[in-house]
Structure 1
């Protein structure tokens, strides 16, 4: 019996969700792939312990957010465009909304961005988000409040959108 039994199945089952989280955190598909690969290489080393006694998905998500926060400290920040691309007949409203939302998310601080991604895209509760971030529920609430206020300021045109519409 291999001590990595189940890891491949876990990755196959959760890869899209974890990649989506990584992408929303990083704002770039290639950097998100690097982030996820880095985290999964650490998770596989802990797999036998995680598969017996823990929640591998929660551990992986927490590791993903922690690695993201750590990387953001060491690497230069993203430089999003101040304006969305010109409207083209190949873009529909939902596509433009996603572009504007990604640009707005890129302007948030790393912890605020992490809170927004975990709460509204990953649909975690305040308690689950606090656990992933290693902070209090009160901190999650205040960071969420500040992040939403900042998003309203940065991109008021997104006020009428529903997260489900943009996430598609």
Structure 2
């Protein structure tokens, strides 16, 4: 199934070591995941400092509960689930408002690509949480429908429906902005 030196096998070994209390193995696992975690957190809160705080809290929660990982193969999924819950809790607690200076800076941006990306990020941000989560997991995290369903503890059909509805809402929202 796996060969010696295979990256998947190395990750499994690190997860097993981390579960037994090996801090170095845990640190190496986090190092491999931290950029993905930050990008996901940023999609939720649109603020660098808040995203970093969410990642730090996610890492702390993962560290204190690493022994609870049931399937070492799904460490990344387990970690993503912690991050999503942490980000949603953060949003509920803070109901973030974008500072006026940030809006001005973004509006004065010369780079059209950045503006288009921000339009998409803003459109994703306006989605209901269930739609935002499936979009992030599918297109930013690269998970398959079955993996998303497992992570969210819901049927695959629900994930497919939510993805379909989210994509349609994004299309409609972005079309309105273009008019």
Report the aligned-residue RMSD.
2.6
Alpha-carbon distance, 1:117 to partner: 0.8
2:41 to 22, 38, 45: 22
Q: Partner of 2:13 in structure 1?
A: none
Q: Tell me, in whole angstroms, the C-alpha distance in 1 between the residues paired with 2:168 and 2:98.
A: 21
CA distance in 2: counterparts of 1:43 and 1:9, whole angstroms = 13
Query: Which runs of 5 or more residues in structure 1 are unaligned?
Result: 160-168
Count of residue correspondences: 153
Shift of 1:125: 0.4
Gaps of 5+ in 2: 1-16
Q: Which structure 1 residue ranges, 4+ long, deviate > 3 Å from structure 2? A: 77-81
Q: Look up the match of 2:174.
A: 155
Show the counterpart of 1:126: 145
The answer for the alignment partner of 2:14 in structure 1 is: none
Q: 1:110 to 1:53 in 2, by over 3 A?
A: closer
Q: Is the 8 A contact 1:39 1:60 kept in 2?
A: yes
Secondary structure of the residue aligned to 1:46 is helix
From 27, 32, 46, the equivalent of 1:8 is 27
Counterpart of 1:103?
A: 122
**What is the TM-score normalised by the length of structure 1?**
0.78
Using structure 2 for the length normalisation, give the TM-score. 0.73
Q: Is the 8 A contact 2:45 2:96 kept in 1?
A: no
* Bigger CA radius of gyration: 2
Q: Which deviations, in whole Å up to 9, do the C-alpha atoms of 1:90-134 show, x marking residues without a partner?
A: x1x321211111111111112211111111111110011112222
